[in-house]
Amino acid sequence: MTNMDHDMLIATLDRLKLTAIRDQLDTLLDEAARSKMTLREALGFLVSREIARRDERHISMSSKIAQFPLVRELDVFDFAAQPSLDQGQIRELATCRWIAHGDTLLFLGPPDTGKTHLAVALGREAIRQNYNVQFVTAATLVATLAKAHVDGSLDKQLTILSRPKLLIIEANAAHLFFQLVSRRYEKGSILITSNRSVGERGSVFGDPVVATAILDRLLHHSTVITNRGDSYRLREKRRSGLLQKTGPTLEPNETANP
């Protein structure tokens, strides 16, 4: 291949926006040659690399839009540290069928037991399956809704928050949260993490009456998963010998699939 031929090929790949092939052309062609690929196999190899690059960019861009606070994947979650969790159930949730059905998922348990890790990991799995996702803390959510309520744009803000197919909330909430839950009810999935159990709904949401109305909607078509294990920080202290292992301090919460 002459320099001109190479330059023309690079320009053509650039015009077709096949940037992964363009950026790695010589390396990919050398690898195809070493593997003695047929033309058909080589073409498939090049295309697969292009798709992989696009998938990576899609996940990266969508994760930024989702505003995840960190990057976490299911493959690195320490299920051995949280024996109360059913790994098979979590893997099933990673198929995102619950999102397709518009169901709700609640992760409950004490702080630092992996709820956010699981929430973000499932959010990234949803992105891989082309669902749009948004992550928000309850404090930010309620502040946003309260501001919108004051300036008369509440309906607009509720509409915006109803668009993502999956809304992930690290939650405490108030009456404005009820309006959002109602707007999304049976239309889009919600994944919530909380340090409180379902039975503590009055303290979680501040108003037992509003809490009951919210939870009636959240628990319909829902899965509730409770992390009962030690926090990661506490476990590290025990491993280092700074703290002797004791029994669990949190009363078991119910695990349900209404």
Domain boundaries, the chain: 3-65, 67-239
User: Against a cut of 0.85, is the pTM above it?
Assistant: no
Query: What pLDDT is recorded for position 100?
Result: 93
**How many angstroms separate the CA atoms of 36 and 30, rounded?**
10
Query: What pLDDT is recorded for position 235?
Result: 67
Query: What pLDDT is recorded for position 36?
Result: 93
133: Cβ–Cβ under 8 A, 6 or more apart, which residues? Answer: 62, 66, 123, 126, 127, 164, 165, 166, 167, 168
Q: Tell me the per-residue pLDDT of 200-236, one tens digit each, with 9 for 90 and over.
A: 555 555 556 566 666 777 777 778 888 776 666 666 6
Query: What pLDDT is recorded for position 1?
Result: 47
Query: What pLDDT is recorded for position 234?
Result: 64
145-167 burial: b if 16+ Cβ within 10 Å, else e: beebbeeeebeebbeebeebbbb
Q: Tell me the per-residue pLDDT of 89-123, one tens digit each, with 9 for 90 and over.
A: 999 999 999 999 989 898 887 767 888 899 999 99
Residue 105 backbone phi and psi in degrees, to 5: -130, 130
Query: What pLDDT is recorded for position 248?
Result: 45
Among the residues of the chain, which ranges form H helices? Answer: 3-15, 19-23, 25-34, 39-66, 87-93, 97-100, 115-128, 138-151, 154-161, 175-184, 201-205, 208-218, 232-239
> pLDDT under 70 in the chain at which residues?
1-4, 111, 171-178, 196-214, 229-258
Q: Has domain 67-239 been given CATH number 3.40.640.10? A: no
**How many angstroms separate the CA atoms of 96 and 131, rounded?**
9
Query: What pLDDT is recorded for position 241?
Result: 64
